[in-house]
Structure 1
């Protein structure tokens, strides 16, 4: 069992690993190397911060079922010195919509999700109109709505709560950048930081998010995780959308309530999605050409709206299958990866932190088996097909 663990990256994944490790075994020394303690450019702080069970793969459903349980009890789990954190969890539900072309897939996913305990309801066109009268359902065949266990929250608050709890349990956070990983054959011996210090370790965890690929390259490993920019727009409108959930249009465009307005976004086309675009730029053309027309079609009241603010953050995008890569690479004995969540990191962070801590402490998963997300599928070119990618 490891006695000294270094985690590269202190966002939701790295801080979750640190928390679960120290909570399970206070004898394990945990050092988290985080380049930006303000988290100003972190995916955790810049995302739309939501959680759902509406995936097409059972493991993702189970990870998020644990995630919602964790978020609901965050006050008692992450209490420090009598202070209970709040992340403003709002279980407003997801609403996935399907045209006739996607109807059978949506129904298959719904049946699987229900079988695993997800509280989701299948609605036909008349059901959609009755429940969401502001919705244009003319071209829709069905929708699935999360009655509970789905919604949105304060992602930055979650990261800060995990970090503060991990620190209270004895995890050490170092404000620096990892610049090299010392390797001797099949083992890593330490991580050198930009501050000039080398931190020795029995195990190193790559939880560097959108910057995880260069960290893996320090070990000579090609990690298929790229930093892909995603722009988010906060809009105001005179629209009145009672009971508005987080809606996923069949095109992939999404929107949800945020205060008195809404936030919305979509992924750019595959041929216009390069790596490492600057975060201080926002894809305004994507809003004008794609998002707004789609919003106005799906919700006619959105023909009148105004962009109040906008920002960009990175997806740590797994180009193989947009699912996480969790576990050890076969070429290195004591380096664990937790990367490539492709927009699912906040909601899958608790399950990942728990699972990675189990690998470190026990050499195996003892609760939820995350081994399907391991390196073998990557090296063998066997993608996990997730049909509900947002």
Structure 2
């Protein structure tokens, strides 16, 4: 067994690459290897994400994660020490707009927005009339309130973020290994290595599970169950010639879909009614969802969606945490040297800068130094204690 590694990261997409880079930033010279099965990332959640970021979460720790993340995106080049032009992520701050339709929505939105503003966000709670004034193309008769983030929210270049982390990590000495992890080497309750499909066995001082939809499989090698499974999301790119609104925010509609403008058209998706686990290799789009579910909701929101053409569609996977749809981070109780960063349920890309920093602090310093992420620890999973958001998208 080769034993010259300090840390092995399983999974080299955006979370794994962020963890690796932060490790070398906090501890220059640390010997870090990242195991990635497909360096093209063709089926990675990172590559198939709609690449958005928001401050509008109901748990303060998630707000703080995104507050750090958006500033990190702005300062990406300088943070990573990249050459000019290597790190422009094209952050487009059109904002997020949550549309509420229940009697409780105005009060709940006002309470959450106050907390978000205390943490530096700019969230505004709007009446239906104010929504109509700001976006006159929308039908608002069914609304009771809207929650809008006029800055620090929007979308960005997903592969630019991944590419930047990988470039900077490599420059700092991180080794990226194209192979498939197939097992852990355990000495009692301590993780001390990783077995690869190639037959190699790599020894190390710590293992970080950033395997996304396959993270439960990795943790099972240590004899522990993890409530994370692949969930399929079909994303549609549509052209609506009577509804061209490039200035629009990313809209989360209480009817059950989201949409945002994209190069003269729109990106949109919904959660299928029969949502459940899928095979990790199932990337067949549920094409029927647009006509049967999404299109009627779009038309109800705006008559401009009377004529729509689907231009393309794709499937991405969530590493879906069935307990509470929040990330599972930190040490694995009862297993020394084994760490988790998974279960993001669709939020992993925007959370990767802060999560990478937090995981590196935990490994290098033995505890969180910048932002306490302990509420997202594995302990809540062991105890069956959900850490819920009040609105999951």
TM-score range, shorter chain: over 0.9
- The equivalent residue for 1:202 is 205
After the TM superposition, which residues 213-228 of structure 1 pair with which residues of structure 2 at under 5 Å, given as runs? 213-228=216-231
1:237 to 228, 240, 243: 240
Question: Alpha-carbon deviations, 1:252-294, whole Å to 9, x = none?
Answer: 300001112110001112x442322654311112211111111
- The equivalent residue for 2:161 is 158
Aligned-residue RMSD, C-alpha: 1.4
- Counterpart contact for 1:78–1:84, Cα < 8 Å: no
- The equivalent residue for 2:331 is 328
Larger mean Cα displacement after TM superposition, 277-286 or 84-93: 277-286
Structure 2: which 5+ runs fail to align?
Answer: none
Provide the C-alpha distance between the structure 1 equivalents of 2:303 and 2:276, rounded to a whole number of angstroms. 29
- Counterpart contact for 2:246–2:261, Cα < 8 Å: no
- The equivalent residue for 1:58 is 60
Structure 1: which 5+ runs fail to align?
Answer: none
Provide the C-alpha distance between the structure 1 equivalents of 2:327 and 2:246, rounded to a whole number of angstroms. 35
- The equivalent residue for 2:255 is 251
- Counterpart contact for 1:90–1:152, Cα < 8 Å: yes
> Structure 1 length normalisation: TM-score?
0.97
Partner SS, residue 328 of structure 1: strand
Partner SS, residue 37 of structure 1: coil
2:375 to 368, 372, 376: 372
After the TM superposition, which residues 331-350 of structure 1 pair with which residues of structure 2 at under 5 Å, given as runs? 331-350=334-353
After the TM superposition, which residues 24-103 of structure 1 pair with which residues of structure 2 at under 5 Å, given as runs? 24-80=26-82, 84-101=86-103, 102-103=105-106
Provide the C-alpha distance between the structure 1 equivalents of 2:378 and 2:161, rounded to a whole number of angstroms. 28
- Counterpart contact for 2:77–2:84, Cα < 8 Å: no
1:191 to 175, 190, 194: 194
Partner SS, residue 312 of structure 1: strand
Partner SS, residue 334 of structure 1: strand
Larger mean Cα displacement after TM superposition, 10-19 or 101-110: 101-110
Question: Alpha-carbon deviations, 1:137-183, whole Å to 9, x = none?
Answer: 11101111111100001112211111111111110000011011100
Question: Alpha-carbon deviations, 1:317-371, whole Å to 9, x = none?
Answer: 0000000000111110110000100000011101100000000111000010000
After the TM superposition, which residues 120-159 of structure 1 pair with which residues of structure 2 at under 5 Å, given as runs? 120-159=123-162
Provide the C-alpha distance between the structure 2 equivalents of 1:294 and 1:330, rounded to a whole number of angstroms. 44
Provide the C-alpha distance between the structure 1 equivalents of 2:118 and 2:83, rounded to a whole number of angstroms. 40
Partner SS, residue 336 of structure 2: coil
Larger mean Cα displacement after TM superposition, 22-31 or 234-243: 234-243
Provide the C-alpha distance between the structure 2 equivalents of 1:99 and 1:82, rounded to a whole number of angstroms. 46
How far is 1:81 from its partner? 5.1
Cα 1:256–1:182, aligned 2, differ >3 Å: closer, same or farther? same
How far is 1:207 from its partner? 0.3
- Counterpart contact for 2:54–2:66, Cα < 8 Å: yes
- Counterpart contact for 2:20–2:32, Cα < 8 Å: yes
- The equivalent residue for 2:25 is 23
> Structure 2 length normalisation: TM-score?
0.96
Provide the C-alpha distance between the structure 1 equivalents of 2:152 and 2:196, rounded to a whole number of angstroms. 40
Provide the C-alpha distance between the structure 1 equivalents of 2:205 and 2:118, rounded to a whole number of angstroms. 40
Cα 1:178–1:278, aligned 2, differ >3 Å: closer, same or farther? closer
Partner SS, residue 54 of structure 1: coil
After the TM superposition, which residues 270-349 of structure 1 pair with which residues of structure 2 at under 5 Å, given as runs? 271-276=274-279, 278-349=281-352
